[in-house]
Every structure is written in C-alpha cells, then in structure tokens.
A and B are shown apart, each in its own frame.
Chain A
Amino acid sequence: IAGITQAPTSQILAAGRRMTLRCTQDMRHNAMYWYRQDLGLGLRLIHYSNTAGTTGKGEVPDGYSVSRANTDDFPLTLASAVPSQTSVYFCASSDGLSGANVLTFGAGSRLTVL
C-alpha cells in the first residue's frame, strides 16, 4: 500500500441498502476526510476526523456516518442508500489541519444508487 487505498472502486447499489466505503492510509496522517464530487459542484466535505477517536460533520453529513477506531482506517457508511447519494466519493488525508498541510486523495469510489 502506498498512500490511500479506497474500496470498492465502483459499486451499483439498490436504494435502501446499506453500504460501507473503505479507506486505508499508510502515511500515519492525523487527519482524514470524506468528500463527494458531483458534476458542476466543488468537492463537498461529508465527514472528517482530526485524529483517531474523533470525528466531525462536514458540509453534507446527512445519511452518512463514519468511525475512526485507529489512525489508518476511516470507513464511510451509508445506512440506507438513496439515489441522491449517487456520486464519486474521495477519501483524503493530511498530516494536520493548519498551514500548508496538503491533502492526499485516494483514487475514488464511484457509487450508483438505483
């Protein structure tokens, strides 16, 4: 593993189903993030974690939950998927929040909810 690994790469899901997107980083970064990217819109923050054991809500948290049991893993769960959650989901990490701390992104998970 080098950087951030997301799984699955792509998934088609029936509405109402539960889905967990996995994210693992090997850079020992403190902060991790989940974004969604939709055509014509900027990346929107769903949830974030400043350090293991803590999480926070971003701009569009409804319908999503996260956990941060350890430094490396930050799964995103859709409890009951709806078609409006069709999107490309990016996990990212950074060494900290302030200054020039750069986000490193995973390759993305394309989710289609029918």
Chain B
Amino acid sequence: GQNIDQPTEMTATEGAIVQINCTYQTSGFNGLFWYQQHAGEAPTFLSYNVLDGLEEKGRFSSFLSRSKGYSYLLLKELQMKDSASYLCAVRGSNYQLIWGAGTKLIIKP
C-alpha cells in the first residue's frame, strides 16, 4: 500500500531551528510537496522537491532522498506565526497527491 508518515506533533522554541521528517512508500514518484496549514485555514504551498538534495527558500528548506523515501522540512529562526500544521504530500504514479496526516508544530516563547 501507499503510506506517508510524519510525526503527529512537535514543540520548539521561538528563534530556534526545527526539522520535520516525512517518510513515504508510494507506487511511483513524481515529486514531494510541503504545505503549511494554520488552524481553521486552507493549506498553502511551501516547497517542492523532485530531485535529491536541498531546496532553500528563505527561512524554510526542504530536503529529499528518493532512495531512502525520505524528506524533511527545516524551519530556521522560528517565529510564533510558524505555529501550524505541516503537511507532506507525494505525487504518485497516477499524478495524484498522497497526503500525510500532518505535523502540528507548537512554538513556545
């Protein structure tokens, strides 16, 4: 079967760095996405990886290892507004997205 695993919840301190991991087993791979979702709101796009390596976008970076079925989202200089759920999704062989259940990130002052 197809599966996306990510931690249910993480806690970090304002100003610190946090890494959210995502492992996947899918039939086919056509890219991996990270989305941010604040409570009661719609998911919004953060990053896309299709090749191995690190993609950096400001305070956020995303890494992919296709051979290991693994990705992480790295958030630096955490701000209170980063408190949200972070969703990992993989585009499979039929080009539809398979979603993880999301990681709720709690930022403490």
User: For A90, what are the chain B residues with a Cβ–Cβ distance below 8 Å?
Assistant: 42-43
- B7 on the A face (CB < 8 A): no
Query: Interface size of B by Cβ–Cβ distance < 8 Å?
Result: 22
Q: Knowing A97-B95, A98-B95, say if A105 contacts B101 (CB, 8 Å).
A: no
Q: Does B50 count as interface, using CB distance less than 8 angstroms? A: yes
B102 and A102 contacting across the interface, CB-CB below 8 Å: no
Q: Say whether B50 contacts A42, CB under 8 Å.
A: no
Q: Give chain A interface residues in 41-92, CB to chain B under 8 Å.
A: 41-45, 48, 58, 90
Q: Which residue of B lies closest to A108 (CB)?
A: B42
A interface size (C-beta, 8 A):
20
Instruction: Please name all residues of chain B whose beta carbon is closer than 8 Å to the beta carbon of A106 when the two chains form the complex.
Output: 42
Q: Compute how far the CA of A103 lies from the CA of B36 in the bound complex, rounded to whole angstroms.
A: 12
Among candidates B44, B48, B96, B102, residue contacting A42 with C-beta atoms closer than 8 Å: B102
CB proximity to B under 8 Å, residues A12-68: 40-45, 48, 58
Known: A100-B48, A102-B33, A108-B42. A45 touches B101 (CB 8 A): no
Do residues B31 and A99 form an inter-chain contact, with CB atoms below 8 A? yes
Is the CB of B4 closer than 8 A to any CB of chain A? yes
Looking across the interface, which residue of chain A has its beta carbon closest to that of B49?
A100
Dominant secondary structure of chain A at its interface with chain B: loop
Q: Output the least CB separation between B60 and chain A (Å).
A: 15
By a CB distance below 8 angstroms, the chain B residues around A7 are: none
B30 touches A98 (CB 8 A): yes
A40 touches B101 (CB 8 A): yes
Shortest beta-carbon distance from B103 to chain A in Å: 11
User: Could you tell me if B45 and A42 are in contact, using CB atoms closer than 8 angstroms?
Assistant: no
B41 touches A107 (CB 8 A): yes
A43 to B31 CA separation, bound complex (whole angstroms) = 17
What is the interface of chain B, defined by CB distance below 8 A to chain A?
Answer: 4, 8, 30-31, 33, 41-45, 48, 50, 87, 89, 95-102
The 4 closest A-B pairs by CB, nearest first: A42-B99, A105-B42, A97-B95, A43-B99
A sample of 8 more A-B contacts (CB under 8 A), given A42-B87, A43-B99, A102-B33, is A42-B98, A42-B99, A43-B43, A97-B96, A100-B48, A105-B43, A107-B42, A108-B42
